[in-house]
Amino acid sequence: MKFEAVTIKDIAKALGLSTSTVSRALRDSYEISPETKKLVLEYAEKINYHPNPIALSLKERRSRTIGVMVCEIANSYFSQVINGIESIAQLHGYNVIISQSRDSAGRELQNLQYLTSRSVDGLIISVSSETKDFSYLQELHDRGMPIVFFDRIVDAIETHKVITDNFKGAYDATQHLAQMGYKRIAAICNTITLSIGKERLAGYKAALKDAGLDYKEEMVRTCEHGGMLASELEEAVASLFAASPAPDAIFAAADKLTTGCLQALRNRGLSVPGDVAMVGFSNSELTGLLNPAMSVIKQPAFEMGELATDLLLELIESKRPVTDYQTRVLGTEIIIRDSCPPVI
Amino acid sequence: MKFEAVTIKDIAKALGLSTSTVSRALRDSYEISPETKKLVLEYAEKINYHPNPIALSLKERRSRTIGVMVCEIANSYFSQVINGIESIAQLHGYNVIISQSRDSAGRELQNLQYLTSRSVDGLIISVSSETKDFSYLQELHDRGMPIVFFDRIVDAIETHKVITDNFKGAYDATQHLAQMGYKRIAAICNTITLSIGKERLAGYKAALKDAGLDYKEEMVRTCEHGGMLASELEEAVASLFAASPAPDAIFAAADKLTTGCLQALRNRGLSVPGDVAMVGFSNSELTGLLNPAMSVIKQPAFEMGELATDLLLELIESKRPVTDYQTRVLGTEIIIRDSCPPVI
DNA sequence: TTGTATGCGTTATCAG
DNA sequence: CTGATAACGCATACAA
């Protein structure tokens, strides 16, 4: 007992027609008589015919499938982005294949090769924080594969990119802490090999400066693995509080870092904002319930997914080289959950 | 400029061989001379040949792709399950296509038809709470499509199922509230058209009974849309607190209901556990930081995804009818975050 | 208006 | 050991 699908051939045989006639009738071609059309369509409906998309893909050299590469699905931010991607893809009759790098450059490369050998029509990618060699992506792009980067983009590759205003998000967060009166504001960041790491660190620095606070390197901790390893955060927090004037506030520069930091603080018996204040990037729906623990910077994740997909589909459907590639910057939102006047 | 893949034909032409020889050499067939093999393999490597999986799919009548249907990706529980699914699939060289029903029966049917129109080898499904007509799924199953249900299963369809011990989870939650001394324990549930709705309601009832508390129908609210609509929760909470003896505790029977309920309570200015205690199902990583707001029931989501995929792949690879289908029940975990002694 | 032949990339079956 | 050919399901250029 197997799942046997009905093909165009079955219809042709049953109706005493040729496959091409059936094919054309189904596609409502002008060169088929109304009667034949009706006959075919009704019979197709009756036996529940559906065209085999694989055969179509082979013929049309397109799979109507887009590949998505993120470091982790089970992360509110990424799952919200995927949600957005899926909605747009669905709208245009595209399937979405999802792959996780788990922030390992090796896995990322392997999955990428797999995805592209699986004939996806295009890729939406947020690169792993471990990745330093972008030659495979570059080659893919050079060979004409439509690619849209989001969040963790590759600066060097000239294609569409969708990011949030990382500088401003970090700036707002830090400024907010400064306005609350905190003086020793630490930062927990991603590596600056990632553009998001760089920009958010810059936003943090700028806000410190504008608030008249000194930037001190020893107040910044970098997490190589983006907080995927709990130990990273434990160490970062431990070393921050080992310093003689311990920080009175922390800015966490990414979702994973925010939650990991909260957890690490809790493990050390430190409360937020009792012992140390905190503002961080976070897209979890539950931060809304953490009140009054902290304010958060929220990224328009769903919209980013939608936008990235729109751009990718445009790239896919107009098969021309990307000369007019663009970087779209979406604003972040700061959600204030403490007594400070909102930042404009 | 298009993304042109190199085919077996290109290799054959370049090397002055036939396509069949090349094909066999690549598959390391015994009937090819070592020299030819070496020649072909080296050249293939050099020009970066990868077989076209679509052509393979057409030939082998299998896509090495599994379809996943959930109501919403951006939900901690489901994204954790998908994480598990993806790991196992990846391990076996399968791709994962994800589809969201957004808890609409119509969308679910439409996406299901799309997925199954021949491009997936099997399905992992958690049905929408709106779905009442399972005839399409039944037909799919009858026609031999491998299906594994998880979480929200369809009792009537005889195939593998993976669920958590919903009864026990609900029982533990309710018992915990009872042990804390609460007497008027309300419940916010999914519809009992869903097995999970039925079982969790039963667990709630049983725990009330064992604690010597009366079950009162007016203390139970049902959310048709599983909490997808914020208004559902607003109404549920409003009507619960409109009753003359308002509840002193709430058991929320699903992730979405837990967060929605917390939000609704907050909107009404009620604090947890100050004004009303609460225990609910929740798989968000952030509930761990909500301390001491409430204890939660956590499902082994990742493991469920892994298990469901293992079962599905078994079904797919051994193409026999499912006679020995089974329902695997995984235990839930109660995470205590208040002063009550842990439930055994 | 309808039918025939061909090709998309691959492998299996036959011949040589 | 290697090559020609058919087939997977569909669409289309070309015939009729």
pLDDT of B341 reads 53
Domains B63-164+301-332 and B166-297 share a fold: yes
Model confidence at A292, pLDDT cuts 50, 70, 90, reads: low
Which residues of chain A neighbour B261 with C-beta distances below 8 Å? none
**At A232, which helix (H) or strand (E)?**
helix A230-242
pLDDT per residue as tens digits for the range B296-307: 999 999 999 999
Rounded mean pLDDT of A72-84?
A: 94
Q: What are phi and psi of B320, to 5 degrees?
A: -100, 160
pLDDT of B16 reads 92
Which residues of chain A neighbour B50 with C-beta distances below 8 Å? 113, 116-117
B56: Cβ contacts below 8 Å, ≥ 6 apart = none
Q: In A, residues 200-259, which contact B (CB 8 Å cutoff)?
A: 259
Greatest CA separation for chain A = 89
pLDDT at A226 over 90: no
- Mutation target for A interface from B57, B111, B112, B306: give the one with most A CBs within 10 A: B57
Nearest CA-CA partner of A282 in A305, A256, A245, A262: A256
Which residue type, as a one-letter code, is found at position B141?
Answer: H
pLDDT of A291 reads 59
pLDDT of A343 reads 44
What single DSSP character describes residue B12? H
- Mean pLDDT taken over chain B: 90
pLDDT of B344 reads 44
pLDDT of A333 reads 94
pLDDT of B192 reads 85
Asked if A50 has any chain B CB less than 8 Å from its own CB, the reply is yes
pLDDT per residue as tens digits for the range B133-172: 999 999 999 988 999 999 999 989 999 999 999 999 999 9
pLDDT of B343 reads 44
Q: Which position has the token pair 């007497």?
A: B183
> Before A292, cis peptide (omega within 30)?
yes
Model confidence at A334, pLDDT cuts 50, 70, 90, reads: very high
Residue A286 and residue B63: Cβ atoms within 8 Å? no
Which residues of chain A neighbour B5 with C-beta distances below 8 Å? 119
Distance from CA of A207 to the nearest CA of B (A): 28
Residue B118 and residue A54: Cβ atoms within 8 Å? yes
Question: What's the Å distance between residue B8 CA and nucleotide D10 C1'?
Answer: 22
Residue A286 and residue B286: Cβ atoms within 8 Å? yes
CB-CB contact of B138 with B156 (8 Å) = yes
Model confidence at A243, pLDDT cuts 50, 70, 90, reads: confident
Higher pLDDT, A194 or B242: B242
Output the CA torsion sign for A82, A87, A92, A94: positive
What pTM was computed for the model? 0.90
What single DSSP character describes residue A283? -
pLDDT at B319 over 70: no
pLDDT cut 90: percent of chain A above it: 69
pLDDT of A317 reads 87
Residue nearest to nucleotide C3 (CA to C1'): A18
**At A98, which helix (H) or strand (E)?**
strand A95-100
Which residues of chain A neighbour B113 with C-beta distances below 8 Å? 50
Model confidence at A322, pLDDT cuts 50, 70, 90, reads: low
Asked if A29 has any chain B CB less than 8 Å from its own CB, the reply is no
- Enumerate long-range contacts of B39-44, CB under 8 Å, 24 or more apart: B39/B15, B40/B11, B40/B15, B43/B11, B43/B14, B43/B15, B44/B11
pLDDT at A1 over 50: no
Question: What's the Å distance between residue B205 CA and nucleotide C6 C1'?
Answer: 68
Partners of residue B221 on adjacent β-strands? B188
Question: What's the Å distance between residue A222 CA and nucleotide C2 C1'?
Answer: 71
pLDDT of B285 reads 80
Domain A63-164+301-332: CATH class, spelled out: alpha beta
Which residue type, as a one-letter code, is found at position A197?
Answer: G
- Mean pLDDT taken over chain A: 90
Q: Could you tell me the residue ranges of all domains in chain A?
A: 8-51, 63-164+301-332, 166-297
pLDDT of B339 reads 67
**At A315, which helix (H) or strand (E)?**
helix A301-317
Positions of strand D less than 7 angstroms from a protein CB: 1-5, 7-13
CB pairs under 8 A between A and B: 150
CB-CB contact of A85 with A123 (8 Å) = no
Output the CA torsion sign for B109, B114, B116, B121: negative
What single DSSP character describes residue A326? -
Asked if B344 has any chain A CB less than 8 Å from its own CB, the reply is no
Q: Which position has the token pair 């309920």?
A: B261
Query: Is the CB of A25 within 7 Å of strand D?
Result: no
Provide the CB-side half-sphere exposure for B294 (13 A, CA).
30
Rounded mean pLDDT of B68-87?
A: 95
Rounded mean pLDDT of A315-340?
A: 82
C-alpha A214: how far from its chain's center? Answer: 34
Distances (CA, A) of B63 to A4, A338, B222: 14, 52, 40
pLDDT at A121 over 70: yes
Distance from CA of A35 to the nearest CA of B (A): 27
The tokens describing B336, both together, are 């205590």
- Mutation target for A interface from B145, B263, B289, B296: give the one with most A CBs within 10 A: B289
pLDDT at A310 over 80: yes
pLDDT at B17 over 80: yes
Q: In B, residues 143-172, which contact A (CB 8 Å cutoff)?
A: 143-145
Q: Distance (Å, rounded) from C-alpha B306 to C-alpha A98?
A: 16
Please say whether the structural domain B166-297 has been given the CATH code 3.20.20.20. Answer: no
Residue B145 and residue A3: Cβ atoms within 8 Å? yes
Q: Distance (Å, rounded) from C-alpha A162 to C-alpha B260?
A: 30
pLDDT of A126 reads 96
